[in-house]
């Protein structure tokens, strides 16, 4: 071959070696990190803390005085700036519609607060101490043995949602003919009735540890996980860190971002129908219009990632501002086209009572600031340095895509993170709050996934209550 030929072979071999090395360092899978499962997040010194593992019944209860004070605040309204001519929700929450929301909140919703509070207490609520924090959760179990397989499931909300997102889904799961579900629906730390961290560093990975510890505390060594928004990321982290505890993971916002994300997204853009079922290409492309939408909708995130306490202060004790800030997301994140409607399309998917139930949880628990801190903790160098999207998980995974959600990820990318992706669906309607918007569709998708996993013989369900 000669000297030149040998040189070429050596050069090719060296390039191959370096290429493999670069791939492994920057793109290859990583082992899961070890997180402290007993990290302390409460106030003061951990040395003086002794965890009380008791599970206490809890009831949502606010006095007539608290509700009266809120009504007084809603009567003392600011001078609204009228919307620009011809503008609906394109500039944010339309002040004309906001007046209607506040009027109903004051004169309609609060006049029947006893009924709404009873509705919120419809399912059994509890609290328990986990790693220094009072964690609130709903726990729904079958009342008697039926002979059906018993499946524990953890359902997790996100921001600006709450436990009320799952009320319709809970009811449907209770009536399931094939399985008896033992449902745990927690308020995330710093959300609603769950205590906020007193320490920095409680990001989605650390919340996943708390959620796993909660399930083990309740006696569930193996369980299903379902989540959207933060619930999706926390759920993904949970099955990554504790695959031995997870029967399966179902998400309505599969948003894994492995290192191959940008490369594969670009390659797929050259011929999308080769990588994505042709009828669903518009879930992902045209790419730049999707990016533009994210940029339009993510201003809140940048503020909450960098200055959560500042924006939180402006909303604390300010029910009108809080309602506008939260409900505007329920408009645009349900369907971006709803920005063009006078009421933001809110009445198309939600009842006013359901939306105000959610706002009331944030207002009455004074949790808007602490809920927003999760954004700041999620984007620290330490949190991102965990590289959890580079840690594949063997847990059976299901992805339900709703067309109008904020972001979508196709299977070719997801399989880098979820090699056991056994369920992948596309729904032509529905958005970010799927369990609340289209509960029938969400329920069916979740059940289809669970049946696939159960029928595959990958789990051995417990038949004991």
Q: Token pair for residue 158? A: 């996100």
For the ranges 183-192, 259-268, 333-342, the lowest mean pLDDT is seen at 259-268
Strand partners, 57: 126
- Give CA–CA dist 181/176, Å, rounded: 8
DSSP single-letter state for residue 110 = G
Q: Token pair for residue 197? A: 């961290």
Higher pLDDT, 53 or 293: 53
Q: Given the residues 180, 229, 389, 416, select the one marked as catalytic.
A: 229
Q: Token pair for residue 58? A: 């809890």
- Concerning whether 179 is annotated as a catalytic residue, the answer is no
155-175 confidence digits (pLDDT tens): 999 999 999 999 999 999 999
- Give CA–CA dist 413/403, Å, rounded: 18
The yes-or-no verdict on residue 181 having pLDDT over 60 is yes
Q: Other C-beta atoms within 10 Å of 299: how many? A: 9
The confidence score (pLDDT) of residue 18 equals 43
Place of tokens 């993170």: 417
- Concerning whether 432 is annotated as a catalytic residue, the answer is yes
Total residues belonging to the chain: 465
The confidence score (pLDDT) of residue 6 equals 52
328-387 confidence digits (pLDDT tens): 999 999 999 999 999 999 999 999 999 999 999 999 999 999 999 999 999 999 999 999
The yes-or-no verdict on residue 312 having pLDDT over 50 is yes
- Give CA–CA dist 318/217, Å, rounded: 37
The yes-or-no verdict on residue 22 having pLDDT over 60 is no
Q: Token pair for residue 38? A: 């007993």
Q: Given the residues 250, 404, 423, 432, select the one marked as catalytic.
A: 432
- Going by DSSP bridges, is the β-strand pair 150-156/133-140 parallel, antiparallel, or unpaired? unpaired
Q: Token pair for residue 30? A: 């990583």
Q: With contact defined as beta carbons under 8 Å apart, do 152 and 185 qualify? A: no
DSSP per-residue string spanning 113-171: HHHHHHHHTSS-EEEEEETTEEEEEEEE--SS--SSPEEEEEEE--TT--GGGGHHHHH
Nearest alpha-carbon partner for 239 in 181, 179, 154: 154
Identify the three-state secondary structure at position 217: helix
Q: Given the residues 179, 375, 418, 443, select the one marked as catalytic.
A: 375
The confidence score (pLDDT) of residue 10 equals 52
* Helix (H) / strand (E) containing 16: helix 2-26
- Give CA–CA dist 204/193, Å, rounded: 18
* Helix (H) / strand (E) containing 296: helix 287-297
Higher pLDDT, 272 or 288: 272
Q: Token pair for residue 134? A: 């009072």
The confidence score (pLDDT) of residue 74 equals 97
* Helix (H) / strand (E) containing 267: helix 261-270
Residues 6+ apart with CB under 8 A from 415: 421
110-130 confidence digits (pLDDT tens): 999 999 999 999 999 999 999
Q: With contact defined as beta carbons under 8 Å apart, do 362 and 190 qualify? A: no
The yes-or-no verdict on residue 12 having pLDDT over 90 is no
Residues 6+ apart with CB under 8 A from 104: 352, 356
- Concerning whether 136 is annotated as a catalytic residue, the answer is no
Strand partners, 398: 250, 423
Q: Token pair for residue 28? A: 């290859």
85-114 confidence digits (pLDDT tens): 999 999 999 999 999 999 999 999 999 999
Q: With contact defined as beta carbons under 8 Å apart, do 134 and 439 qualify? A: no
């Amino acid at each position: 071959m000669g000297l030149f030929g040998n040189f070429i072979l050596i050069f090719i071999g060296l390039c191959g070696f370096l290429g493999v090395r670069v791939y492994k360092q920057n793109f290859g899978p990583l082992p899961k990190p070890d997180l402290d499962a007993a990290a302390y997040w409460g106030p003061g010194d951990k040395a003086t803390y002794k965890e009380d593992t008791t599970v206490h019944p809890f009831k949502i209860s606010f006095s007539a005085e608290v509700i009266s004070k809120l009504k007084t605040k809603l009567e003392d309204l600011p001078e609204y700036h009228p919307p620009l001519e011809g503008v609906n929700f394109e500039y944010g929450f339309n002040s004309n519609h906001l007046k209607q929301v506040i009027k109903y909140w004051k004169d309609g919703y609060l006049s029947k607060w006893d009924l709404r509070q009873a509705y919120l207490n419809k399912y059994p609520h509890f609290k328990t101490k986990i790693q220094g924090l009072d964690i609130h959760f709903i726990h729904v179990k079958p009342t008697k043995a039926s002979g059906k397989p018993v499946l524990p499931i953890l359902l997790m909300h996100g921001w600006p949602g709450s436990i009320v997102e799952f009320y319709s889904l809970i009811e449907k799961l209770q009536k399931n003919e094939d399985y008896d579900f033992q449902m745990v629906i927690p308020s995330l730390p710093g959300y609603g009735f769950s205590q906020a961290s007193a320490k920095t560093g409680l990001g989605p990975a650390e919340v996943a540890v708390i959620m796993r510890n909660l399930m083990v505390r309740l006696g569930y060594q193996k369980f299903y996980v379902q989540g959207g928004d933060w619930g999706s990321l926390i759920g993904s982290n949970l099955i990554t860190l504790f695959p031995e505890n997870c029967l399966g993971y179902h998400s309505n916002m599969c948003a894994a971002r492995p290192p191959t994300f940008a490369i594969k997204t670009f390659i797929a853009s050259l011929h999308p129908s080769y990588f994505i079922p042709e009828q669903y290409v518009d879930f992902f492309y045209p790419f730049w219009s999707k990016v533009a939408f994210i940029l339009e909708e993510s201003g809140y995130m940048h503020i909450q990632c960098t200055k959560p306490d500042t924006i939180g202060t402006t909303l604390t004790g300010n029910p009108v501002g809080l309602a506008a800030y939260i409900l505007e997301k329920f408009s645009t994140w349900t369907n971006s086209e709803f920005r063009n409607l006078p009421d933001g399309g809110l009445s198309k998917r939600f009842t006013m009572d359901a939306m105000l139930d959610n706002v009331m949880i944030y207002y009455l628990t004074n949790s808007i600031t602490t809920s927003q801190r999760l954004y700041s903790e999620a984007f620290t160098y330490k949190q991102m340095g965990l590289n959890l999207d580079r840690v594949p998980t063997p847990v059976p995974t299901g992805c339900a895509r709703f067309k109008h959600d904020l972001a979508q990820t196709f299977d070719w990318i997801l399989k880098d993170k979820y090699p056991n992706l056994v369920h992948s669906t596309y729904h032509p309607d529905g958005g970010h709050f799927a369990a609340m918007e289209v509960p029938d569709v969400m329920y069916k998708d979740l059940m289809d996934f669970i049946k696939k996993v159960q029928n595959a013989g990958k789990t051995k369900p417990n038949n004991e209550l």
